[in-house]
């Protein structure tokens, strides 16, 4: 018995900022000299990112017109965790609602009062009563809906949300699970010249994603993905190379340059451990949904598994257009894949990966379920043509 992921909706904040503009903001904020500014701009040019979204307009503005950061040369007094969480509380719910509405438009047969489980995912903000309760109230979900919060697990957290949803559906044939991931990473800009912070500031962005997981495929033509198997591995050598800590001036990301090497070391073992459960070989898989933690990570996985950039095209598309939105990102990649699916892809296996603190590596094997359904008008047209012939 499989559960099915489908109807993935996404949402981004209003402020879309080109990567070179963000580089200019960072150079000014860090008060870099000409040589260091050139190096920073080069880092942004090779990131594979064209633009990113933020709930803060400041990253596209010059000093003097900021709305969140102080309009001082050194951005002091630098915003506290409390100030950042106040923005999270204000912005997370509207963004989440946009993603949910986008999701439900793709599944008109699913009514909100039939949702049995709500799983919320975030590592960039927390409060209580939290986003889960606010979503119940704003959407008019039954107050008896079973709520689960997946917090502070980083970029792989959506995988754990899918595991939970899969377990709910396997245990209850009437389950209808709504997953909502919201990440406002840009609230946590760190005014530091350390390499980890320079890299993090060049990658992360804001976004939300929502999806449905059901015990059977969605009715109608909307494609779904059967959740077939999950596998998790830890690479203990990376314990200090990817981390996420709450400090006085926001949440601080550690993302060392050694992370791609650690992933390269463990990705084949992770893949073999997943596929060992199933009658599927890596050579059978031609569709991939890989979390774009960064361009170097994508290239490392390609080299380790013998993939081409075309195999990995959905991850590159998301990285280019959105950057790294932490846990929401892999759902964006799966959405790109589903939108590209055709009836000829029905039954095709899909391999998906995500990574996070620990160093944690998560994998899931999915299978495309695409109905070969034509609208009634198309059936009528085909019948007329057949009669004429």
From 103, 123, 155, 185, active-site residue: 155
CA distances from 125 to 87, 91, 164, 187 (A): 9, 11, 21, 9
Active site residue 211: no
Active-site residue set: 155
């Amino acid at each position: 018995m499989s559960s099915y992921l489908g109807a993935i909706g996404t949402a981004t904040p209003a402020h879309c900022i080109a990567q070179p503009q963000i580089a200019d903001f960072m150079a000014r904020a860090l008060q870099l000299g000409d040589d260091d500014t050139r190096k920073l701009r080069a880092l942004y040019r090779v990131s594979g990112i064209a633009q990113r979204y933020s709930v803060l307009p400041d990253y596209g503005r010059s000093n003097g017109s900021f709305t969140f950061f102080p309009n001082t040369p050194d951005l002091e007094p630098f915003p506290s965790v409390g100030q950042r969480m106040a923005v999270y509380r204000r912005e997370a719910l509207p963004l989440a609602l946009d993603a949910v509405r986008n999701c439900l438009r793709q599944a008109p047969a699913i009514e909100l009062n039939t949702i049995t489980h709500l799983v919320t995912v975030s590592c960039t903000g927390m409060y209580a009563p939290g986003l889960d309760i606010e979503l119940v109230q704003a959407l008019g979900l039954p107050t008896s809906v079973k709520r689960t919060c997946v917090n502070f697990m980083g970029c792989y957290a959506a995988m754990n949300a899918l595991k939970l949803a899969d377990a709910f559906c396997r245990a209850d044939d009437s389950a209808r699970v709504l997953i909502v991931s919201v990440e406002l990473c840009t609230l946590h800009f760190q005014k530091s010249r350390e390499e980890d912070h320079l890299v993090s500031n060049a990658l992360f962005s804001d976004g939300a994603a929502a999806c449905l997981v059901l015990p059977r495929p969605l009715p109608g033509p909307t494609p779904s993905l059967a959740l077939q198997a999950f596998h998790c591995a830890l690479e203990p050598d990376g314990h200090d190379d990817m981390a996420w800590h709450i400090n006085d001036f926001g949440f601080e990301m550690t993302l060392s340059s050694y992370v791609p090497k650690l992933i390269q070391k463990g990705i084949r073992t992770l893949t073999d451990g997943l596929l060992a459960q199933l009658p599927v070989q890596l050579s059978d898989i031609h569709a991939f949904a890989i979390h774009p933690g960064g361009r170097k990570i994508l290239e490392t996985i390609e080299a380790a598994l013998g993939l081409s950039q075309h195999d990995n095209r959905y991850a590159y598309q998301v990285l280019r257009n959105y950057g790294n939105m932490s846990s929401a990102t892999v759902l964006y990649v799966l959405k790109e894949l589903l939108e590209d699916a055709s009836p000829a892809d029905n039954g095709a296996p899909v391999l998906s990966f995500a990574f996070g603190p620990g160093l944690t590596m998560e994998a899931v094997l999915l299978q495309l379920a695409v109905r070969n359904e034509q609208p009634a008008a198309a059936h009528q047209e085909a019948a007329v043509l057949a009669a004429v012939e």
